[in-house]
Structure 1
């Protein structure tokens, strides 16, 4: 279904402001409930009057009734990424058994700014839902399927190839962050001694092939049912071709280090990518929490503290003193 061409009231005109020199600049309009309501009415069968509710305050993602989600791109770059995401979801759907949202309508909600009206997947997202043992198997199937998506096809769609991050550099940032967190009585920096500099260098060497990486498998993008099964995956905008340890890292902060590593192991990943993903998550979460305490990250502190706790859960694998020489699949 697409928006009826030429239907009035479905697009917001761009605002015009002047810079310091008096020149007129175009500024993207701010989506309001009325903007969303009018657009939703134009897309759904005539007579439907769906309730519209923002997914988060001030955001550009809205619930439309009980069956749809409307996502409004805030700028032209986001519009290009949204178009790429729609194409990528079609490619991924052929390989991933979990549900992936389907776009039932797309177009422009303002001049040059795209929207997509997606199906709403049944289940819960957010910081609360837990993943069961069977849910871990679902995550393992997801990681396996991502490895099977043809990389060349993904790149043809515009998915960028990104080199693996330096764990040494991230470790140095985490050491600094841990010092600030210690002053706030948030974290014991001695725990970072588990990742000595030589280990960070060793875990930085990745000889396996690049794969499609979701790159944002946080709790907001995992749709979990009441029995702990993972039923769907949202948020494919940040997908890259690159280091599979990034998805292991996201899962470590989302569902806990033990569950993430068990899922990665079930997917066929060996000790090196699992430990690399674990330490990417641990360092990332410390840096994010320290940034929030310093006012540089607006994510609520309880959310960031939860991610630190989950990423720093102990696992048996980290007791391995010498990494085996197997290559990542």
Structure 2
């Protein structure tokens, strides 16, 4: 198998000049030191993303088509490709226009920003599943909350010993609750599957301006996007946005507990030195100082465990309905 060439600054400049001609800027630089040689800033207005292998090329081709499918359904900006093609045999590139603003974890989301998130979640639910499947978007089975609960309980013990978490907190995910918060029968929806702060573009006014990073989108459980928002903007804001989008108590609470369990497990793994994934850097945002992993995970843990009124006033019935006061 032929090894893919390693892109350099000269590689990027030559490619950009062939695409933009006299408008091309010579200022090219990697988005971040940890991002590898595949994502480059071109001036301050464009980002060039180079697929490093055939698998990434397949996902990038799918992402380009998916963004066009999603765009009419969501009110926030979706990245636009100025040019795309192959930078090496079988390896694709896309030159995207940058989305101005900052990462979601850099600004608080305002009430209007929550409405933006609600419109996005509602729009994703309206994307035709059959069309997404035709583009190659895979289906993803819902996670088993009971398995995650057991992992979270082990993480709580380690975090309590390290004085990172109060094991006596009143909120607790019980075995009975995991059964009630299982996924209800119904058609899957398009799930972004990566609504972390690096993929939410938030303005200084708290409005959500855009959503990046559609490579990992799947057809599956919408509670995953609610969970990701809880880690990024806090549980109250995430649940309010999901409620505005038309989701009932069950998927909102399921998303809440997915986020809480994930936050516990990820922080425990990071403190134990077993974290496999570094914090990613936004592909369409200016380079950031690389954050320390445990502090960021502590922030996400705090956000996920913010109390919400919904879990105190909701009674989930066995028939799958929600007995929630208005």
Question: Which residue is 1:307 aligned to?
Answer: 300
Q: Does 1:46 align with 2:39?
A: no
Question: Which residue is 2:61 aligned to?
Answer: 83
Deviation at 1:209, TM superposition (A): 2.4
2:230 touches 2:239 (CA, 8 Å); kept in 1? Answer: yes
Task: Identify if the C-alpha distance between structure 1 residues 295 and 30 changes in structure 2 by more than 3 Å, giving closer, same or farther.
Answer: farther
User: How do residues 122-133 of structure 1 correspond to structure 2 at under 5 angstroms?
Assistant: 122-125=100-103, 127-133=105-111
Aligned partners of 1:158, 1:308: CA distance in 2, in Å?
34
Which protein has the larger Cα radius of gyration, Structure 1 or Structure 2?
A: 1
Question: Which residue is 1:71 aligned to?
Answer: 49
2:115 touches 2:244 (CA, 8 Å); kept in 1? Answer: yes
Deviation at 1:109, TM superposition (A): 2.2
Measured against aligned partners, the alpha-carbon deviations of 1:233-276 in whole angstroms (never above 9, x if no partner) come to 10111101111101100100010000000000001101000000
Matching residue within 229, 232, 247 for 1:251: 229
Once the two structures are overlaid, the 10-residue window that deviates more, 197-206 or 229-238, is: 197-206
1:55 touches 1:63 (CA, 8 Å); kept in 2? Answer: yes
Aligned partners of 2:307, 2:115: CA distance in 1, in Å?
20
Task: Identify if the C-alpha distance between structure 1 residues 189 and 41 changes in structure 2 by more than 3 Å, giving closer, same or farther.
Answer: farther
- Partner SS for 1:44: helix
Deviation at 1:104, TM superposition (A): 1.2
Aligned partners of 2:109, 2:139: CA distance in 1, in Å?
30
Matching residue within 174, 188, 191 for 1:210: 188
TM-score by length of 2: 0.88
Structure 2 portions without partners, runs of 5+? 280-292
Matching residue within 150, 157, 161 for 2:135: 157
Aligned partners of 1:126, 1:245: CA distance in 2, in Å?
19
1:175 touches 1:189 (CA, 8 Å); kept in 2? Answer: no
Measured against aligned partners, the alpha-carbon deviations of 1:134-192 in whole angstroms (never above 9, x if no partner) come to 00000000000001100000011000111111000111111112222222221123338
Task: Identify if the C-alpha distance between structure 1 residues 36 and 295 changes in structure 2 by more than 3 Å, giving closer, same or farther.
Answer: farther
Measured against aligned partners, the alpha-carbon deviations of 1:260-293 in whole angstroms (never above 9, x if no partner) come to 0000000110100000000001111111112211
Aligned partners of 1:36, 1:183: CA distance in 2, in Å?
49
Question: Which residue is 2:248 aligned to?
Answer: 270
Question: Which residue is 1:32 aligned to?
Answer: 8
Aligned partners of 1:52, 1:182: CA distance in 2, in Å?
46
Aligned partners of 1:126, 1:267: CA distance in 2, in Å?
19
Once the two structures are overlaid, the 10-residue window that deviates more, 199-208 or 92-101, is: 199-208
Aligned partners of 1:30, 1:178: CA distance in 2, in Å?
43
Structure 1 portions without partners, runs of 5+? 1-24
Task: Identify if the C-alpha distance between structure 1 residues 301 and 36 changes in structure 2 by more than 3 Å, giving closer, same or farther.
Answer: farther
Task: Identify if the C-alpha distance between structure 1 residues 314 and 44 changes in structure 2 by more than 3 Å, giving closer, same or farther.
Answer: same
1:100 touches 1:233 (CA, 8 Å); kept in 2? Answer: yes
Q: Does 1:285 align with 2:263?
A: yes
1:140 touches 1:264 (CA, 8 Å); kept in 2? Answer: yes
Task: Identify if the C-alpha distance between structure 1 residues 51 and 283 changes in structure 2 by more than 3 Å, giving closer, same or farther.
Answer: same
Aligned partners of 1:103, 1:198: CA distance in 2, in Å?
47
TM-score by length of 1: 0.87
- Partner SS for 2:209: strand
Question: Which residue is 1:22 aligned to?
Answer: none
Q: Does 1:326 align with 2:297?
A: no
Aligned partners of 1:130, 1:55: CA distance in 2, in Å?
23
Give the structure, 1 or 2, with the largest relative contact order (CA under 8 Å, sep 6 or more). Answer: 2
